[in-house]
A and B are shown apart, each in its own frame.
Chain A
């Protein structure tokens, strides 16, 4: 008799769980976006005979039930909390390294990405070929990412050699072309003591903070000046800056967002720098991914300073397909094109101050024909600004 009762209990509980999850998911309103994953969620797929026969309808339905499952975020959060319970000094949760329950760092690459890197190098050579008739000077600037610059924070078993091997391979191959000037901003960073270097990055975000970014900007201008035949200038100094620390409102770092903000980020207090006399741009045009066009710097740089909670993109700038800034007070008449990733979002106005006209393109979102654009728009200089764990993404020319 008792066996039968237990059997009924097993049966009823199993059916209850499976039915409640299914019915609950169907009844709950669909969510459009996952904040933690930073992506849009699959909505109910559109049915058509073609999508049915190709299997596309079923694939999308699978994605829909996964994305819209009731309690999904709570399940994921529970998983992450369980993983964090096992932290001694460091643990890896969803490819994010949690160190001392304070630092969140990217899990280092564990292999050489030679083939994708070769593709990126080919893209650069293709770009170089297209702009050759314009006699454009090309500079590749490698910006320091925490994996290498804060390597000392990783436990010994996560100090893989592959990230440095990938960087060495890429820069060595690039340097074989003597016409491309390669600058490694990590070199001046390496000279700074470890504890001081830690103050240059966010604890819970994959970017540098303004301390590190400003030093990076200064190194860029200095090194480009040293290597360029057409550009000479000195960077702005910290004394010329108005500095503001954002002390109110939480900071939501990119890594912490992926961990459902489980890490205490109260120590992440962003800094914002602005030149004492303000930026001196005569003309600004920014095309956004939504198709809007802005013409004021305050709409696209530091637009979210007064509206916590803060994110890197709201304090500094979002990634936009194209920006153009004109500074007639620059000491030259150079037109410069910048290809970049999000590391440049902190410092692009500072860099643009040094040139007559600066065009900044984020190739992830740029929809026009790049080859045609480069043919039709002569530039005196191209600056490629990428962090040194980014050698293979669509931020590189002709890699989409």
Chain B
């Protein structure tokens, strides 16, 4: 079930809100848990049991970590057991086929493994679970209430696609949270924006990207290749940030405050800054649970770069079980290392438009690897982008996309910069609060209705991060 679908918006959500708000406080967490399990089972009726197994496993790890909190050695063993169990669980479902292929390539063997289906959201809930056990290890109290732990891991707004919420951020909210109209209304506003981003911009951009990426790179013009990757750059941002915003908005409706996940990454002026603005919760997770435990930036110089490469390789690998994803991660590891080596100082002195151009071009090149199924396609596509193939600069299809989708391109560009925040700053304070309130109400619901029109009209509305 996706948030931007009729079944969720008009059936699941109203029913869950009704049951949640009319149930007594003691039962609210259980009600939310049941709906979260139903939400997950909707997409994966059998794999819900796998998720329950993961919850139970991590629950007991948490209990034992607490029990041996004073015994460092035992505590460490339990932690490692917990990490290995979770990694094995994720590794089996997500990476087993990849490793079998890798073994066959290296050792020239012919082992076969039936393709293993990838359970929805396993990367996300495994990271939630690991965050829990690591936080308990780091002296947070373990969650004695199994249902509350289950709720932390499964709460449906963030279950299948994040944001990745660390346990210590949500621990208090599981027990103590207020339900207020102002928070609910803020949740509605955030949800509407996310809904609009996904449906009005991400989906049309996705149609363009899919159409262009289904062609061979040597059959398209240079301009068409740029249009394709621009469309994908916008699709992935609006898709993912839109979904994150819907998750945050839904969290607010149920009284939770989730961390933000995107902060206008395409206005960044360095790659390091880009990753402080893109999928922030993932970056924070890797920073807090991998980079810093390895020593972070407080070790010798070569170890810092080692740590960066480990983190970026894992980041790429987390996104997908293929060499293109690993290459994508290492690509960013390399860029960040180069900036750290001194290029950042050169960059910061450059003219700001050059800084922005530097980031956006490198990010778009990175997305080619992310989107491509294999390296030959990725390299060929990049060659076409830079006019290094025997292809024309321009063709009718390029013009078609520009003419047909110009409004969407403009909307995407405006939506990827803090333009509306800037407008809001200019307006608020200059018009009476009542007028501002009514205008805001009218605009949000006009946007909501328009997005509903698009949603109903579209019949195909996948969310590309579902298989991570």
In A345-370, the 8 Å CB interface with B consists of none
Q: Which residues of A contact B6 (CB under 8 A)?
A: 21, 25, 65-66, 69
Docked-complex contact B184 and A11, CB < 8 angstroms:
yes
Kindly name the residue among B219, B397, B440 whose own CB sees the greatest number of chain A CB atoms within 10 A.
Answer: B397
A18-B14, A79-B453 known; A66+B444 contact, CB < 8 A:
no
Asked if B437 CB lies within 8 Å of chain A CBs, one says yes
**Contact segment of A117-125, A156-164, A223-231, A373-381:** A156-164
Interchain CB contact under 8 A, B185 and A86: no
Q: Is the CB of A22 within 8 A of B42?
A: no
Complex alpha-carbon distance, A25 and B12, angstroms: 13
Q: A53-B46, A62-B5 are in contact. Are A7 and B10 (CB under 8 A)?
A: no
Cβ of A215 under 8 Å from chain B = no
Interface size on A, residues (CB 8 A): 50
User: B42 contacts A58, CB within 8 Å?
Assistant: yes
Binds B, one of A70-78, A142-150, A239-247: A70-78
Please name the residue on chain B nearest to A90 by beta carbon. B403
User: Residues of A contacting B14 with CB < 8 Å?
Assistant: 15, 18-19, 22
A76→B181 contact, CB < 8 A: no
Partner of B185, one of A11, A62, A159: A11
Q: Which residues of A contact B402 (CB under 8 A)?
A: 157
CA A25 to CA B211, docked complex, whole Å: 34
| Selected contact of A110 from candidates B41, B45, B397, B434, CB within 8 Å | B397
Nearest-neighbour CB distance to chain A for B400, whole angstroms, equals 4
Check: A330 CB closer than 8 A to any chain B CB. Answer: no
Q: Does A387 contact B (CB under 8 A)?
A: no
For chain B, the count of residues having a C-beta within 8 Å of the partner chain is 51
Contact B453 A78 (CB under 8 A): yes
Q: Is the CB of B7 within 8 A of A10?
A: no
Instruction: From known contacts A6-B441, A65-B7, infer whether A58 and B45 are also in contact, taking CB-CB under 8 Å.
Output: yes
Q: Is A372 an interface residue (CB 8 A)?
A: no
Q: Which residues from 425 to 468 on chain B have a C-beta closer than 8 Å to any C-beta of chain A?
A: 433-434, 437, 440-441, 444-445, 448, 452-454, 456-457, 459
Identify A156's interface contact among B396, B433, B437, CB under 8 A.
B396
Expressed in whole angstroms, the Cα–Cα distance for A302 and B327 within the complex equals: 63
B348 in contact (CB, < 8 A): no
Measured between alpha carbons, how far is A10 from B457 in the docked complex, in Å? Answer: 25
B188 within 8 A of A: yes
Pairwise interchain contact B11-A22, C-beta atoms closer than 8 A = yes
Given A14-B188, A52-B45, A61-B7, check contact A4 B182 (CB 8 Å): yes
- Indicate which residue in A9, A14, A92, A158 contacts B396 across the interface (CB closer than 8 Å): A158
B215 within 8 A of A: yes
| A111 within 8 Å of B (CB atoms) | yes
Quick check: is B177 within 8 A (CB to CB) of the other chain?
Answer: no
Evaluate whether A7 and B399 lie within 8 angstroms (CB atoms) in the complex, with A15-B17, A22-B10, A66-B6 already known.
Answer: no
A155: min CB distance to chain B, Å: 8
Q: Does A307 contact B (CB under 8 A)?
A: no
Given A66-B6, A111-B214: A79 touches B11 (CB 8 Å cut-off): no
Q: Chain A at the B interface: mostly helix, strand, loop or mixed?
A: helix
Set of chain B residues within 8 Å of A157, measured between Cβ atoms: 396-397, 399-400, 402-403
Contact of A160 with B404 in the complex, beta carbons under 8 Å: no
Closest to A6 in B: B437
**A66-B6, A110-B215 given; A158·B441 CB < 8 A:** no
CA–CA, A289 to B1, complex, Å?
Answer: 36
Query: Is A91 in contact with chain B by the CB < 8 A criterion?
Result: yes
State the CA gap A82–B444 with chains docked (Å). 19
A318 to B149, CA, bound (A): 61
Q: How far is the CA of A52 from the CA of B448 in the complex (A)?
A: 32
Q: Which residue of B lies closest to A158 (CB)?
A: B400
Tell yes or no: B357 within 8 A of A by CB. Answer: no
Residues in A with CB closer than 8 Å to B290 are none
> Which of A7, A8, A25, A82 lies at the interface centre, i.e. has the most chain B CB atoms within 10 A of its CB?
A7
Asked if B44 is at the interface (CB within 8 A of a chain A CB), the reply is yes
Interfacial chain B residues near A54, Cβ < 8 Å: 45
A155, B404: Cα distance in complex, Å: 11
Contact B456 A75 (CB under 8 A): yes
**B116: interface (CB < 8 Å):** no
CA A275 – CA B307 in complex, angstroms? 85
Q: Is B292 an interface residue (CB 8 A)?
A: no
CA distance A22 to B95 in the complex (A): 40
Residue numbers in B under 8 Å from A19 (CB-CB): 14
B185 contacts A10, C-beta separation under 8 Å:
yes
A308 at the interface (CB under 8 A from B): no
Q: Tell me if B181 and A18 are in contact (CB < 8 A).
A: no
A3 CB–B CB distance under 8 Å: yes
A13 at the A/B interface (Cβ < 8 Å)?
yes
**A18 nearest CB neighbor, chain B only:** B14
Cα A259 to Cα B366 in complex, Å, equals 39
Taking CB atoms and an 8 Å cut-off, the chain A residues in 46-88 that contact chain B are: 52-55, 58, 61-62, 65-66, 69, 71-72, 75-76, 78-79, 82, 86
* Interface presence of A112 (CB below 8 A): yes
Answer whether residue B9 sits at the interface, using C-beta atoms and an 8 A cutoff. yes
Is B441 touching A9 in the complex (CB atoms < 8 A)?
A: yes
A27 adjacent to chain B (CB < 8 Å) = no
Which of A10, A69, A160 is B189 in contact with, Cβ under 8 Å?
Answer: A10
Query: From B11, which residue of chain A is reached at the shortest CB distance?
Result: A22
B295 lies within 8 A of chain A by Cβ: no
Would you call A17 an interface residue if the criterion is a C-beta within 8 Å of the partner chain's C-beta atoms?
yes
Q: Which residues of B contact A66 (CB under 8 A)?
A: 5-7, 456, 459
Shortest distance from the beta carbon of A185 to any chain B beta carbon, whole Å: 26
Q: How far, in angstroms, from A82 to B451 measured CA to CA in the complex?
A: 13
Residue of B nearest to A14 (CB): B188
Asked if A7 and B181 sit within 8 Å, CB to CB, the answer is: yes
* A55/B44 in contact, CB under 8 A: yes
Q: Which residues of A contact B452 (CB under 8 A)?
A: 17, 75
Contact in complex: B43, A55 (CB < 8 Å) = yes
Closest Cβ of chain A to B259, distance in Å, is: 22
Residues of B within 8 A of A94 (CB): 457
- The smallest beta-carbon distance between A148 and chain B, in angstroms, is 15
B52 within 8 A of A: no
Q: How far is the CA of A161 from the CA of B398 in the complex (A)?
A: 13
Residue of A nearest to B452 (CB): A75
Q: How far is the CB of A37 from chain B (nearest CB, A)?
A: 9
| A355 vs B404: C-alpha distance when bound (angstroms) | 49
Question: Once the chains bind, are B456 and A110 in contact (CB under 8 Å)?
Answer: no
| Complex CA distance for A54 and B47, rounded to whole angstroms | 11
- B9 near A18 with CB under 8 A, answer yes
* CB contact list, B1-60 vs A, under 8 A: 1, 5-7, 9-11, 13-15, 17, 41-46
Q: How far apart sit A11 and B14, CA to CA, in the bound complex (Å)?
A: 12
Q: Tell me the A residues contacting B by CB distance below 8 Å.
A: 2-11, 13-15, 17-19, 21-22, 25, 52-55, 58, 61-62, 65-66, 69, 71-72, 75-76, 78-79, 82, 86, 91-92, 94, 110-112, 155-161
Ordered by A's residue number, 9 sampled pairs between the chains whose C-beta atoms are within 8 Å are A2-B437, A6-B441, A14-B188, A53-B46, A65-B11, A66-B6, A157-B396, A159-B396, A160-B396
CB-based closest 7 A-B pairs:
A157-B399, A7-B185, A10-B185, A22-B10, A75-B456, A21-B10, A7-B181
